[in-house]
Structure 1
Amino acid sequence: MIDDLDDTEAAPDITDLATGRARQLDDECATCVFAAGNPANLRTGRLAHFLTEVADTQSYIVCHETMTGGEMPAMCGGFAARYETDQTQILERTTGYTRVPPPGAGPRPAGFASRADGLRKVRLRTTGRADGPPPVIVIAIDGVLTPRAADSPPPGDLSWAAHIYDGLGPNGEQRKARVWLAREHGMWLTGLLARGAELVWATPPGTADPTWITSRLGLADNAPVLTVDDVAGPGDGSTDSPIAAYTGARPVAWIAAPGHSDEPSWARDRVAAGHPTLLVSVDPMTGLTGEHVDLVHTWLNTVWRPYHP
């Protein structure tokens, strides 16, 4: 299983002994970690871990299939098509690359185009200390951490457990209901906190204290709670919304179920003002998934700038 590979060891040398150039695959291999459908069988969050390690070391990913069976090591074709780091830029400007087919792919026809050709590359940045305030990840809890399921757990392979809420509802009246929570959500959000990001909860007016949920996920109960209109959304239909007042110009990722009317205009206005912004839309029937969290980790790599003492 590819996920069992030890990524703590130094990456092997990818120099082509015949040309002196760095070997780089011209396409994704059959089990590329970036390929659709997860043919590498990576655990949820594992790809984000790989990218975080690469961003911190400013290195690259070596194709796992070129490290077995007598193959010569080569840079992962899926990585090379999507990302740039200090080391990849240095290799390109010094030795250059010898592009080779993945193991078992055979000779290439004239005009060959890889599955990843045309992708816009993302510059991975160091994920340690930063030169500005940390990014803010705002989570609208309903439908994200609490899928709208009733008698049976939501679809998917998470470790769902039913909890009985017995307290005040949004209208101030006593309410008793089954709530499905997944322990993976607490683990994933803890991983985002470890990156230096700040978590903020967004709840509609009159909603019960979210710590009933977050404490059951193993999360600290000191995260800020912002009251956000459940129709308008993050912009709250104004220029002085609670989210705007709290986050200012800091990078913001907004994770919510769809349906907030001002999400697009809020995001456009922030981006136009030079404030990095990410919208993550979550299916309220399934809740937060590993793919959503991977997206946030990758975004953090692009906005959490390196610190220069």
Structure 2
Amino acid sequence: MLTLVDLHTGDTITLAILDSLEIRDPYTLLAVHTGGELAAHGPTGGATAADSHAATLALDSTTLAATRPTPLHDPAATALPTTCWVDLPTDLAAALRPALDDARTAVLVLLDRTGGRLAAVGPFPTHATALGYQPHRYDGPGPDGRHITGTVWLHPDHGPWLRELANHAQPVWCTNWNHLAAEWIAPRLGLPATWQHVPVHAGGIRFGHQSKLSPLYAWTARRPLAVLDDEFGGKDPFAADQRTADGAPTLLRPVNPYHGLRRADIDAVLTWLRQL
């Protein structure tokens, strides 16, 4: 219990602090918006608590179409019981997509489009763990040369996906990590330490362009180039189109920064390579 006291008036309020990871009957409130966005709110203790949040959502959003309290399945369990699945109309199941403003949720929604159903799993301690990322402790020089310590989240699926790309193209690192990408990140993803890196001093958008692209274009010269990155400038697509028109096919594939690299990103590059 936590009691808050207003020092000027003497008014007090007592709150019960509930650890979301220790909820005995965890539920999430699924919210569907008119554009097909699906958001998960919670976790909460029980269906009634989850359902009570619907009125607040309706006041805050003009696009809310429907809500439904949904039980959370324990992520430590290896199989989903039949009772965890919620039936959906097939047209709704086909139209649903993640809401970007739901990126920090600790709930993972499994959507079976073919079967017209969904299930919710959680709670997870972080958004990264819900997506399958694993923490790696880093203690060494940072991109600017100063010593840093912290956690780097890496996804075990990314290594095999990138090795698959390497069967069709030459992968190179182009990141502020520079040589540390091959020396530190690569072995933790099961990637060879021999992949080259294009030296960059800083990333970010400057004058409408991702600053990493300039040294990458110079290194690539006239060869076809596909770039996977979570940040491009407003002028970058036009520059890529111009490179393509000048005989250097260029693909800029934006990676959703809230979810990181996904299989659809890899498939998009593979499809583009086959069309060259």
Higher relative CO (Cα under 8 Å, sequence separation at least 6) belongs to 1
When normalised by structure 2's length, the TM-score is 0.49
